[in-house]
Structure 1
Amino acid sequence: MDPAIDQALQLLQRTHNRQANLLRRAISQRLQDPRPLVDLGHLLVEAGQGDAAAASFMAGAQRDPNFAPARFGLGQLMERVGHYGDAAICYEEAVRIEPSSDHLFHLARALHLQGQLEDAGRHYQRAIEADPKHVRSMYNLAVLLAGVQQEAAALQLFETIVSIDSNHGQAWCSLGALRRQDGDLDGANQALRRAVALQPKDALSLANLADTLAVQSQLKQARTMAGRALKADPDNIIANLVQARMDREDGNLEQAAARLEGLASRDVGPLNRGRTLVELGMVKDRMKEPEVAFAASCEGQALLAKQPPAAGMDLNAFPNLVEQLTSWTPQALQTPSPPPPDDDLPTPFFLIGFPRSGTTLTEQIITSHTGLDSLDELSILDTIAARTVDLCGGQTPYPQALDSCTPEQLGQLRAQYWDEVRKARDGELPKCQLIDKLPLNLVHVALISRLFPESRLLVALRDPRDCCISAFMQYFVPNEAMIQLYDLRRTAELYQSVMTLWLNSREHLKLPYLETRYEDLVDDLEGTARRMLEFLQVDWEPSVLEYHEQAKKKHISTPSQRDVSRPIFRRSLARWRRYEEPVRELQPLLAPFVSAFGYSDG
């Protein structure tokens, strides 16, 4: 018997005497059989005798060079001790002999751990082809794809995994995180709740759910989940970010700042550093430290702009659309609209403006009236705009495609609008007047006019300088419009283009509209509320003045959720004065609108 094997058996006898004697007999009697040597190797691994185990696996491979388990066992030992290159060589031999899904998976993982991502991905894919339900290969491949910014492919794989194994908690967590990153907050919420149900003490699942709930402005639940995550892992980055926001919302500014500054001093990765700095900017703004606040916001937003999914979005797509709409809309509004079809469908009213212009506050005030209801920031009109292209054969882009729509096709678009409303409201239409609130629906005023010629527009205004500073210093879920807000100058340029469209449109607009200023709501809530309700054709109800009590009971998905759940405060008025130097550079862009909307130059 080989002296190394004899020594290995002696080592094993110390802990597994009976098994060692049986293996000694098998190895001595079955001279051509590698299996006893491989079994010895596995027992030695369990006993912590790595060198002896390696000798046993290699002896097995010598007995039969085409016995895959010997190569595979040695590869597992090499991987276990961190020798991933040697492990990959062993796994390659095992795959050559027997290209099973498990062998391919381990080869892919060894390559993955070495950073050889392209080869790792190829072998994960081979493992899945060998076994279409090989969940471990799917999971690791999905993680790899997400890491190289192929989020759509990763998302699809995670969805496949949970359809095969509905109890795979890590896959549910990863699926939820990707959905959250993709802007599918409801889908993220659902997946992460499932992850937490399966892994109730997993800090990452809890933290991701807390983060999603916070973005959905479900702050009470977010606070609970963040607390559970921090109990499981006090250093969890995401949970600390959520907790910092809760501290800010509760007015614990020093505590929030300390937590965020601690995060900023760590290596948390560019995405989390960006979010940390944007949140720190909001906290320092509340603490009346504008220079620190602005610097943190600038650095944080610049980092977020370079991370997925924002980095993969077309920065010019939305500005280009607004430019097309600006040149097309005035003429389109002068074209007579066909009468509304006799379809018995109601007519929505629209609440529009620029982000951070007070639309959420306005919405909460008017929908405290028993005769008014709202859609909370759903991009239904974007869906309808895309549908106009399909109806015209896909050759003419929006908005020009709208010119080719027949009355019958406009009727189809109206019907689809209400189908989308039903989807958002569990299959039911509202029982009172619907207010469709999404600020940047402002760019679709001609579409609104064509589809709903009996509609009304409530237009929220705010000092343009406050609008831009507030939007820039806020965290938004990225889309082609919101990514403009990562840079202060681009924010002002977007304001200029969107509000130019509005000013050019309103003189041709046949729909009734009412402009309301955020500052007027703050200075004269009752008078402004009376004007709005009269415009919306409902009687006065004093309950609207207690809107903040109603808001506490509602799900509000915007960053203003906490603010509108309190009585009106004045701290956001003339906020721009704390940032006069950066705002001064925007004056050429914003001055015409400061004048047009009746604000003071000084």
Structure 2
Amino acid sequence: MQTGQAGNVQSLMEAGDFPAAASMLADQLAALDASRPAQNGPTTDAKAATKTSDAKRARIEALYLSAVCARYQNDHATARSFVQKLFDIEPFFGRGFLEEAHICRAEGKAREALSNYQRASEANPAILAAWREQIKILEASDQPGMAAHARGELSYYESLPEAVLRAQALLNEGRLLKAEELVKDFLLGAPRHVDAMLLLADISARVGAYEEAEYLLDSALLFAPDNRRAMKDYVLVMRKQQKFAKSSDMCAKLVALDPEDASALFQQTIEHMQHGQNQAATDGIDALLVREPDNPAFLLLRGHIEKALGRQDTAIAAYQRAISVRNDNGQAFYALANLKTYTFSDDEIIVMKALLDDGRCALDDRIHLNFALAAAYEKTGDTDQAFAHYGEGNRMKKAQSRYTSEVMHEELQRQKEFCTPALFAAQSGKGCPAPDPIFIVGLPRAGSTLIEQILASHSQIDGTLELPNILSLSRSLQNAARKTKAGTYPANLHDLSGEELSAHGQAFIEDTRMHRQGAAFFTDKMPNNFRHIGLVSLILPNAKIIDARRDPMDCCFSGFKQLFAQGQEFTYGLAEMGRYYADYVALMDHWQRTLPGKILHVQHEDVLDDLEAQVRRMLDYLGLAFEPACLDFHNTERAVRTASSSQVRQPLNRKGLGAWRPFEKHLDPLKIALGDHYRPENYSG
């Protein structure tokens, strides 16, 4: 919508001439339709892309104002049709929910109105009208707790300077660059404005620039150390970077500030779960659900805790309850699918399909619903529908990512270039001599959780988590190299002194102690540590390393089907998955040549063929005596927080072998990317 046209429409609406405004808006929508170019695929021309984006925003604004005009003329059916068209273009649009809520309010439907006002605030908390209307309904319906929360949020957003509030609104309507420009301009004149710094940190986090977000939050907390919003944002950013010690410390400070703050207690319960403090996590979620039994986030966390502890029935009940109190809860639907043992009913499939078709779901819910629906269709045997939804879910995730196969290839090439026999010879005899760690590396969905569960069944081995410490250390070394201009990581491994190598190794042992139960050895099942075996071997020369490997087609397609929480961005495309597998094998071949005898390769299919032989082989490599409990791994009681948690609580089975075959007609991009790792003759049987 052109500026002059928008002004004319606004003037007519302010004058109460809604029919004339509606007529002008209809002309504008017709003009936008007429000027819309035929799309034969995504454009790569920057000017064309900008023009298309501007036209989309103009259409959204015209549809929104058309809905407002229709409502003021008491034509609720037409108003709703404009709102639906708006959602078709821009799902989960805050002002769309606001208008739907106003329509419901005009019709006397207070409950539906409240729900839509709440969705408006969820989509865009900078919409002040949504908070104000919520407060009216909540006070009238005697819900003082929720009304108090809404008043607090309204007070906060009303207190923001106009520029910051405008930037917040732009951010939540997906206009990140414009929001960033606005808030940066504001900070030039008010460099210590904490709320503006928090908003800029939020923008950085949304594009994956977590280190920048951390810096901004550190700065904000320097100026306002007890700012609860800054503290909560800090917890989330630290968790995204897997800096769990920092997130845990900040959670403790939050709870100390206000021991009754449910949101702080919720975050602390997540921390307990992350650290394997199972009883504390269970007690925490029990207490929260006593206070708010219908809180969908609390119910979802209850399900996750029960799943990790192997209590499938209670996990299912919690997830289903989360859906019953919020039926578009994509995370809960996906959590059911991710149990791997759950079968969706026909009615549940219909509900998920309708939610995706409706357009009112948040992007994150739409992603989760696509993966859940894909799993549901796969179980029914409808592989075409299943693949379509796996593809759409991955497309949405890929759009949020800056990952490229080329950058990853170069990163892994640098490991081969700088981690040479000469490096290991020069640094021989250094590092921390502790033999405690057993690193299980490889690709996700390659059988590493099974190996960990087998080893954790041994009396001398503690199973822990996918520990972030090595990845965090590698980032620290990279950042240090940038700051000192002393080369790059891993080139700077050549420059580390014996004292530094030993200190890094000892720090790993101490920092991971919180995850252990007192056994002599412990596992670290972070698959991506394969990228840093050179670093591991230098700082912990006596650590053991097991490479968990699986048939490339099964492994890669299983990764493509899995919606990972974070850190596995190469799974968002078949070609990316195949190239990553090829690069992984090439790097593992390098490590085997450079560090002969250091790494034990365990093939998943061999474990399925002869469990006892492979268990004895692994224990021999580790220098441990055979224990029969390792064969009964599915009976071991411990928390497992990976996608394979359900499978490792069952005896071995061969269900996953060849799971890619029903989808074969869709998998040419994967086969091509795998190159020599895909040989048709290997699959002719």
Please report the TM-score for the alignment, with normalisation by the length of structure 2.
Answer: 0.59
Out of 322, 328, 340, the residue aligned to residue 229 of structure 1 is: 322
**528-537 or 197-206, which moves further after superposition?**
197-206
Corresponding residue number in structure 1 for 2:397 = 304
**Partner amino acid for 1:520?**
D
**Alpha carbons of 1:371 and 1:434: their partners in 2 closer, same or farther (altered >3 Å)?**
same
Q: CA deviation at 1:443?
A: 2.1
Q: Aligned pair 1:274/2:367, yes or no?
A: yes
Q: Aligned pair 1:447/2:535, yes or no?
A: yes
Contact 1:196–1:202 (CA<8 Å) still a contact in 2?
no
**460-469 or 512-521, which moves further after superposition?**
512-521
In structure 2, what is the Cα distance between the partners aligned to 1:544 and 1:249? 23
Q: CA deviation at 1:439?
A: 1.8
Q: Where do 1:506-517 residues align within 5 Å?
A: 506-517=592-603
**385-394 or 287-296, which moves further after superposition?**
385-394
Contact 2:309–2:638 (CA<8 Å) still a contact in 1?
no
Is the partner of 1:476 in helix, strand or coil?
A: coil
Corresponding residue number in structure 2 for 1:190 = 268
Contact 1:358–1:518 (CA<8 Å) still a contact in 2?
yes
Residue deviations 1:549-585, cap 9 Å, x none? 11xx212121000111111121101222222223344
Q: Where do 1:359-398 residues align within 5 Å?
A: 359-388=448-477, 393=484, 395-398=486-489
Is the partner of 2:660 in helix, strand or coil?
A: helix
Corresponding residue number in structure 2 for 1:249 = 341
Is the partner of 2:543 in helix, strand or coil?
A: coil
Is the partner of 1:410 in helix, strand or coil?
A: helix
**Alpha carbons of 1:257 and 1:432: their partners in 2 closer, same or farther (altered >3 Å)?**
farther
Contact 1:217–1:559 (CA<8 Å) still a contact in 2?
no
Out of 400, 412, 430, the residue aligned to residue 322 of structure 1 is: 412
Contact 1:347–1:452 (CA<8 Å) still a contact in 2?
no
**Alpha carbons of 1:432 and 1:140: their partners in 2 closer, same or farther (altered >3 Å)?**
closer
Q: Where do 1:347-496 residues align within 5 Å?
A: 347-388=436-477, 393=484, 395-425=486-516, 430-479=518-567, 482-496=568-582
Corresponding residue number in structure 1 for 2:647 = 563
In structure 2, what is the Cα distance between the partners aligned to 1:180 and 1:433? 26
Contact 1:244–1:256 (CA<8 Å) still a contact in 2?
no
**Partner amino acid for 1:326?**
K
Residue deviations 1:318-356, cap 9 Å, x none? 433112113333545663542146x66334232222221
Residue deviations 1:338-395, cap 9 Å, x none? 2146x66334232222221101111111221112223321122223334545777552
**324-333 or 439-448, which moves further after superposition?**
324-333
**Partner amino acid for 1:413?**
H
**Partner amino acid for 1:593?**
H
**Partner amino acid for 2:604?**
Y
**Alpha carbons of 1:304 and 1:414: their partners in 2 closer, same or farther (altered >3 Å)?**
same
Contact 2:577–2:670 (CA<8 Å) still a contact in 1?
no
Corresponding residue number in structure 1 for 2:583 = 497
Runs of 5+ consecutive residues of structure 2 not aligned to the other structure: 1-127, 135-154, 172-177, 249-265, 271-283
Residue deviations 1:65-114, cap 9 Å, x none? xxxxxxxxxxx9999689xxxxxxxxxxxxxxxxx999755968996898
In structure 1, what is the Cα distance between the partners aligned to 2:605 and 2:505? 35
RMSD: 4.8
**Alpha carbons of 1:272 and 1:534: their partners in 2 closer, same or farther (altered >3 Å)?**
same
Q: Aligned pair 1:289/2:382, yes or no?
A: yes
Q: CA deviation at 1:487?
A: 0.5
Q: CA deviation at 1:174?
A: 8.2
Q: Where do 1:66-105 residues align within 5 Å?
A: 104-105=159-160
In structure 2, what is the Cα distance between the partners aligned to 1:102 and 1:391? 39
Q: CA deviation at 1:591?
A: 5.0
Q: Aligned pair 1:263/2:355, yes or no?
A: yes
**Alpha carbons of 1:142 and 1:442: their partners in 2 closer, same or farther (altered >3 Å)?**
closer
Q: CA deviation at 1:485?
A: 0.8
Contact 1:352–1:442 (CA<8 Å) still a contact in 2?
yes
Q: Aligned pair 1:338/2:416, yes or no?
A: no
Corresponding residue number in structure 2 for 1:583 = 667
Residue deviations 1:248-280, cap 9 Å, x none? 533446565344324323321333212211222
**Alpha carbons of 1:216 and 1:172: their partners in 2 closer, same or farther (altered >3 Å)?**
farther
Is the partner of 1:531 in helix, strand or coil?
A: helix
Contact 2:575–2:670 (CA<8 Å) still a contact in 1?
yes
Q: Aligned pair 1:573/2:663, yes or no?
A: no
**Alpha carbons of 1:250 and 1:371: their partners in 2 closer, same or farther (altered >3 Å)?**
same
**Partner amino acid for 1:518?**
H
In structure 2, what is the Cα distance between the partners aligned to 1:77 and 1:404? 59
In structure 1, what is the Cα distance between the partners aligned to 2:556 and 2:496? 36
In structure 1, what is the Cα distance between the partners aligned to 2:498 and 2:220? 44
Residue deviations 1:91-145, cap 9 Å, x none? xxxxxxxxx999755968996898699699879x99xx9x999xxx899969996
Q: CA deviation at 1:301?
A: 0.5
Is the partner of 1:355 in helix, strand or coil?
A: coil
**Alpha carbons of 1:230 and 1:522: their partners in 2 closer, same or farther (altered >3 Å)?**
same
Corresponding residue number in structure 1 for 2:628 = 542
In structure 2, what is the Cα distance between the partners aligned to 1:436 and 1:77? 50
Higher gyration radius (CA)? 1
Contact 1:209–1:222 (CA<8 Å) still a contact in 2?
no
**Partner amino acid for 1:367?**
A
Runs of 5+ consecutive residues of structure 1 not aligned to the other structure: 1-75, 83-99
Residue deviations 1:525-567, cap 9 Å, x none? 12222222222211111111110111xx212121000111111
**Alpha carbons of 1:120 and 1:243: their partners in 2 closer, same or farther (altered >3 Å)?**
farther
Contact 1:460–1:516 (CA<8 Å) still a contact in 2?
yes
Residue deviations 1:26-85, cap 9 Å, x none? xxxxxxxxxxxxxxxxxxxxxxxxxxxxxxxxxxxxxxxxxxxxxxxxxx9999689xxx
Q: Where do 1:4-23 residues align within 5 Å?
A: none
Q: CA deviation at 1:505?
A: 2.8
Q: CA deviation at 1:455?
A: 3.4
Corresponding residue number in structure 2 for 1:200 = 292
Contact 2:466–2:525 (CA<8 Å) still a contact in 1?
yes
In structure 2, what is the Cα distance between the partners aligned to 1:175 and 1:191? 16
**Alpha carbons of 1:463 and 1:114: their partners in 2 closer, same or farther (altered >3 Å)?**
closer
Is the partner of 2:541 in helix, strand or coil?
A: coil
Corresponding residue number in structure 2 for 1:94 = none
**Partner amino acid for 1:437?**
K
**Alpha carbons of 1:527 and 1:269: their partners in 2 closer, same or farther (altered >3 Å)?**
same
Is the partner of 2:631 in helix, strand or coil?
A: helix
Contact 1:369–1:544 (CA<8 Å) still a contact in 2?
yes
**Alpha carbons of 1:101 and 1:200: their partners in 2 closer, same or farther (altered >3 Å)?**
closer
